[in-house]
Amino acid sequence: MFSDNKLARQKLINKPMRKYTRVVWSLYFGTLLVEIICAVARAVLFLGIFVLVNTFVDAILSGYRIHNPIYTLTGEGRVEYLVSVAKFVAVISIFPIILSVLTIVPALFGTRILPDVIWPWWIKTEAGKLSDRQEEIIDDIIKTFPEKHQQEIHRRRAKLGKRFEIRMIPNSQEEEITRFGDKIYITTALLESKYLGALLARELSHVLSFDSQVERALARFRLYPTAPVLQGAKAAGPHVTKQFFYASDGGRTQATTALGCLVVLLMILAGGELGVAAFCGKWNNFRREREFDADRLAQACGQGEALTEYVQKYKVYDIATPEFLLAMPYSEHRLERLRLRGQGDGGEDVWPSYQSLIGVILFFVVLAALTLGVLLIIPSTRDQLYTYTPQGQATAQAIRATEAANDADIDAGTAFLVGKWSVVEQPETIMIFLDNGRVGLKSGEGREIYDNFLYYMKKKQFYWPLGSRDSEYTVEVSSDNNTVTLVNKSDPAKRMTLKRL
């Protein structure tokens, strides 16, 4: 882990602070690219769920000749329904990514743009505000820090404003401190402890930099916890496998088993954090370095002896963990650096610098280039981008003229059919056409059931989506315009004759 040469180790311990913003940009960019796979999985999963729900409802209601209410909520037609669902699924798919980007980008500038609690993964509801006496204790501790560090702490606190807050947890037994977002939580036992200054300096190093917001940005890639999905799959897996190998006629087949595995995989991917898992080794290396730097700030604030004693007292029981999964450095490594650094000022650049504007510009230029490249691959988007060229605009204008003519044709057909028509083959059935493009069925004294229709007067075509059955007819109009015969295009034997009332 460390060099055997003492001088080399000393140089390693006291090396200047790296430009951590560059590390965060590179790691986050790679994580973001992998998270796109999760967004696609979310789109597939939720689209499948919506289609299954609609098909199930449609199958039940069509037997009773009742209009599917899902169509009414989303646009009164199958095409409109699919468009509405696609928009909703796109929002769900991209929402965690947008939320994460809006969290990390401002944080690297030292500011925030999102509300403090917009995605409450964990909120300490039992924590309360500090009393006047407790605030005085905190202020007195900070006043013992060197002047330059006091000024930097006050400057960064002022930049966060009311977002930064120290809250108290009623616990007189454990000397603990933790952070969440822009807040620090301290137990009442630690408030009276000699370790308060050391631990407070460490947490200030995280909260008043961008560490906490980086963690929140990574957490916001997750739409829902995937652990229950994994537990359920592990519990059901052996049972499914047993059914497969000892299957009777009613048992599991290989296709259904594969389908179940695919659904589980989609649910896991749709939850998000695939990119975080793919880069967990690099992220944990960054976390360990920041923990060492937090120790360095505590030592620079004159709290090195108290921090060393605290680590020796409470953090000696390390658990053997693969390095890429180790987010917190081993206590022995922390103690080694504390001892080698001694009681000096901790070196220069104790605080990580914020990102310069040029870095953010380059990030978004590359991101925009990749986004444009993906959009150009998608045919519909490529065609839409084509409309911005002079040739594309001329083509779009011609298409709009054709659509306007078709709309006029549809309006003419609609006006022609407006009114009540009796079905000759079933005299008790009356069809009621409205001028808003809807048709109603009324059998005897029963209630009216409405659906959409389209009628092309010149083309003599009639399109009627009835529930899950999309029917297209050719239209034969009598010379007196009082009788219409509808012939099903897919099955010409099916005819319906309407007589104007």
> Residue 92 contacts by C-beta under 8 Å, 6 or more apart in sequence?
42, 43, 46, 223
Mean per-residue pLDDT, 222-240: 75
pLDDT at residue 57, as a whole number: 72
Alpha carbon distance 474, 477 (integer Å): 10
pLDDT at residue 31 greater than cutoff 90: yes
Distance CA 330, CA 291 (A): 10
Q: Where in the chain are the domains?
A: 364-402, 404-500
**How many Cα atoms sit within 13 Å of 28 on the Cβ side?**
29
Q: Work out the average pLDDT over 227-247.
A: 64
Query: 464: which 2 tokens?
Result: 């009627």
- Per-chain mean pLDDT for the chain: 77
Tokens encoding 192:
């009276």
pLDDT by residue (tens digit) across 65-120? Answer: 555 666 655 555 566 667 777 778 888 888 899 889 888 888 887 778 877 664 44
3-state secondary structure 360-397: HHHHHHHHHHHHHHHHHHCHHHHHHHHCCCHHHHHHHH
**410 against 457, higher pLDDT:** 410
The per-residue pLDDT for range 473-494, each reduced to its tens digit, is 888 888 888 888 888 887 888 8
Output helix, strand, coil percentages for the chain, rounded to the nearest 5.
55, 15, 30
Task: Check residues 439 and 160 and name the one with the higher pLDDT.
Answer: 160
- Hey, what amino acid is at 477? V
Q: Which residues are registered as beta bridge partners of 449?
A: 441
Q: Which helix (H) or strand (E) holds 486?
A: strand 483-488
Class of domain 404-500 as given by CATH: mainly beta
Residue 449 confidence (pLDDT): 67
| Residue 238 banded pLDDT, cuts 50, 70, 90 | low
Highest mean pLDDT among 14-18, 193-197, 454-458: 193-197
pTM (predicted TM-score): 0.67
More confident residue, 252 or 371: 371
In this prediction, residue 373 carries a pLDDT of: 75
Question: Is residue 1 predicted with pLDDT exceeding 60?
Answer: no
Q: Determine how β-strand 177-180 pairs with β-strand 495-500.
A: unpaired
- Hey, CA dihedral for 388, 393, 396, 397, is it positive or negative? positive
How far apart (Å, rounded) are the C-alpha atoms in residues 257 and 262? 9
3-state secondary structure of 184: strand
